[in-house]
Amino acid sequence: MVCLRDPLVQKVCELYDEISKLENLSPSKEVDTLFTQLVATCIPPYPVDITRLCTKIKRIRNNLIRLCGQAEGLLEKHYSTLLGSFENPLDHLNLFPYYSNYLKLSGLEFDLLSQHCSNPGRVAFVGSGPLPLTSIVLASHHLTSTVFHNYDIDASANSMAMKLVESHPDLSKRMEFHTTDIMDVSAAALKDYDVVFLAALVGMEIEEKIHVIKHLAKNMAPGAILMLRSAHGARAFLYPVVQPHDLQGFEVLTVYHPTDEVINSVVVARKCPKLMHSVVDQCGSPLSLCPEKL
C-alpha cells in the first residue's frame, strides 16, 4: 500500500493542500507557480502504482485531478479570450504557454495514428474546449484535408473556439463545433467518423470515462480508430488513467508513455468488427481483446 511515507506522494499531498486552499484557480502568479511545481514533481519517471494507493491518497488524487481540470479549463478560457482579440488569432498561438507541448503531443499522436489510419476523411474530437489546440495543430500541420468535428457540452467554450478559426480561410471550412453531450450523439453521427479523439478530461472519474467509452464502442463504425489520452507513473496524479481492460469493444493497438515534457500517454484502439489479433504495449504487457476473443 502506497501512503504518505512515499516521498513523492508526500510532496504531491503538500502541493494539493496549498492548491485546495486557493480561492480562485484562474491564471495568476500563485496559481501558475503551484501547478508548475506540481507538474515538475510528477514528470520524472517514478515507480508509483496508483492501484496500491491507500484510501486517503486515492481521495486526494481524485480531488487533485478535478482541480487540475478546473485550472486547465480556466487557463484555456483566458488564452482563448486573449487570442480572440487579434484579427488573425491563429497567428498568435505561441502566446499560450504550453503551445510547444501541444505541438509535440499532436505530432506524436499523428505518428501513432498514421500506423493504423493514414488519411482519415472525418475526425471527431470529444471535449474540445475553448482552445481546441489539438484539432487546430492536426488540421494545420498533419491532416491538412481532414474535416474536424469538435464536441463540447459548454456552449460558451464552443463560441470562443469558433472565434479562433472563423477568420482562417481553410480551417473555417474544415472545422465544425457541436454543443452537446457525447452521450447524446447517435450511432448515425458517430459512424461517420474514421477517428474519434477523446480528451483526457472527458470523464475525470474512471467510471465516467468508461461510460463514455462504452457509448463509443456501441456506436462507432467497425474498424474506426479511437485515440485516448491517459497517464503513467506519477503523472497519474494529474490526469485519469485508462487501462487496456477499460476498452471493452476495442482492440488496443498501441500504448505509448512519453518520458519527456509531454505529460499524457497515448492509447490507440480500433473498434472491433470481428476477431482481432492480440498485441502488446511498449513494456511487453498483453493488451485487451475484442469481445469475440474473450
The DSSP annotation for 18-82 comes to HHHT-S--SS-HHHHHHHHHHHHHHSS-----GGGB-HHHHHHHHHHHHHHHHHHHHHHHHHHHH
Average pLDDT, the chain: 92
Q: How far is CA 20 from the centre of its chain?
A: 23
Average pLDDT of the residues in 85-105: 96
Which pLDDT score, from 0 to 100, does residue 273 have? 82
Which pLDDT score, from 0 to 100, does residue 274 have? 60
Residue 46 · residue 233 · CB < 8 Å:
yes
pLDDT-derived band at 51, boundaries 50, 70, 90: confident
pLDDT-derived band at 275, boundaries 50, 70, 90: very low
pLDDT-derived band at 1, boundaries 50, 70, 90: low
pTM: 0.90
Q: Is the pLDDT of residue 207 over 70?
A: yes
Q: Is the pLDDT of residue 56 over 80?
A: yes
Which pLDDT score, from 0 to 100, does residue 279 have? 45
pLDDT-derived band at 3, boundaries 50, 70, 90: confident
Contacts of residue 49, defined as CB under 8 A and 6 or more positions apart, other chains included, come to 2
Which pLDDT score, from 0 to 100, does residue 151 have? 98
Residue 125 · residue 133 · CB < 8 Å:
no
Which pLDDT score, from 0 to 100, does residue 280 have? 44
Q: Which residues make beta-bridge pairs with 148?
A: 123, 175
Contacts of residue 229, defined as CB under 8 A and 6 or more positions apart, other chains included, come to 198, 199, 200, 239, 264, 265, 266, 267
Q: Which residues make beta-bridge pairs with 268?
A: 227, 254
Average pLDDT of the residues in 107-136: 96
Distance in angstroms (rounded) separating the CA atoms of residues 34 and 111:
33
Amino acid present at 1: M
Residue 220 · residue 34 · CB < 8 Å:
no
